[in-house]
A and B are shown apart, each in its own frame.
Chain A
Amino acid sequence: EAGVAQSPRYKIIEKRQSVAFWCNPISGHATLYWYQQILGQGPKLLIQFQNNGVVDDSQLPKDRFSAERLKGVDSTLKIQPAKLEDSAVYLCASSRGTGANTGELFFGEGSRLTVL
């Protein structure tokens, strides 16, 4: 079974520029998550999709971050304009259902963003 795919792996941009990350979850997984992991911290949930609907985006900075999940499969996370504090690893994860006890989250390798 193929894992969660993310691209690009690394991205360096200047502040106020825009960037987009792409994620392809494990086939058949209904739930998709975007996490932000700042150096020295644990992953923080930005947005959670169930199929192509948003379940939780309470911690997504909506003035600059946006995300969509096309046809309930792939997802993109966009940042525009980027700030220095957005430097982090952006992790995409997927799971079969919404319940943690129905199966753990499967994470991709992450996309490391550096904002100069």
Chain B
Amino acid sequence: DQQVKQNSPSLSVQEGRISILNCDYTNSMFDYFLWYKKYPAEGPTFLISISSIKDKNEDGRFTVFLNKSAKHLSLHIVPSQPGDSAVYFCAASAFGGATNKLIFGTGTLLAVQP
């Protein structure tokens, strides 16, 4: 039962353009969402998060949008840079993250072409 889904295994974008990575979830108890970035041979690193009481959170070039009714969130990267090339994981937790039990999606490989 895949509670967090990232349906696009890969995405290729030109440098300077917008990258949009999508994530869907099925568990209505999820109320905290995070994006992690992973380079090859490294562990995932935290990128940005959003609570279900918000519909948008912005940090520099990265913005996460949450649509609770659609159980959908997206990560926008503007402008995209070659250094953004990595695997991006969407993760979700319940109860305000009280247990910190994160459920991860399968990841989307982003390739930013110079």
Shortest distance in angstroms between B86's beta carbon and chain A's nearest beta carbon? Answer: 13
Q: Interface residues, chain B, CB within 8 Å of chain A?
A: 4, 6, 32, 34, 36, 41-46, 49, 51, 89, 91, 93, 96-102, 104-107
* B99 and A55 contacting across the interface, CB-CB below 8 Å: yes
Please tell me which one of the listed residues B43, B89, B99, B105 contacts residue A98 in the complex, with CB atoms under 8 A apart.
B99
A interface residues (Cβ-Cβ under 8 A, vs B) = 4, 31, 33, 40-45, 48, 55-56, 91, 93, 95, 97-102, 104-110
Listed from nearest, the 6 A-B pairs whose CB atoms lie closest are A100-B97, A107-B43, A42-B104, A104-B46, A100-B100, A101-B97
Check if B44 sits within 8 Å of A43, measured CB to CB: yes
Chain B residue nearest to A40 (CB atoms) is B106
Q: Are A48 and B43 in contact (CB under 8 A)?
A: no
A72 shortest CB reach to chain B, Å: 16
Question: A107 — nearest CB in chain B belongs to which residue?
Answer: B43
Could you name 16 residue pairs across A and B whose Cβ atoms are closer than 8 Å?
A40-B106, A42-B89, A42-B104, A42-B107, A43-B102, A44-B104, A55-B99, A56-B101, A99-B98, A99-B100, A100-B96, A101-B49, A104-B46, A104-B49, A106-B46, A107-B43
User: A42 to chain B: which residues have CB within 8 Å?
Assistant: 4, 6, 89, 91, 104-107
Q: Given that A43-B89, A109-B43 are contacting pairs, would A101 and B104 also be in contact in the complex, using a CB cutoff of 8 Å?
A: no
B54 → chain A, closest Cβ, in Å?
12
> When the two chains form their complex, are residues A4 and B96 in contact, meaning their CB atoms are under 8 A apart?
no
Chain B residues contacting A105 (CB-CB under 8 Å) are 46, 100, 102
Q: How far is the CA of A31 from the CA of B98 in the complex (A)?
A: 12
Compute how far the CA of A4 lies from the CA of B43 in the bound complex, rounded to whole angstroms: 10
Give the most central of B34, B43, B44, B51: most A CB within 10 Å: B43
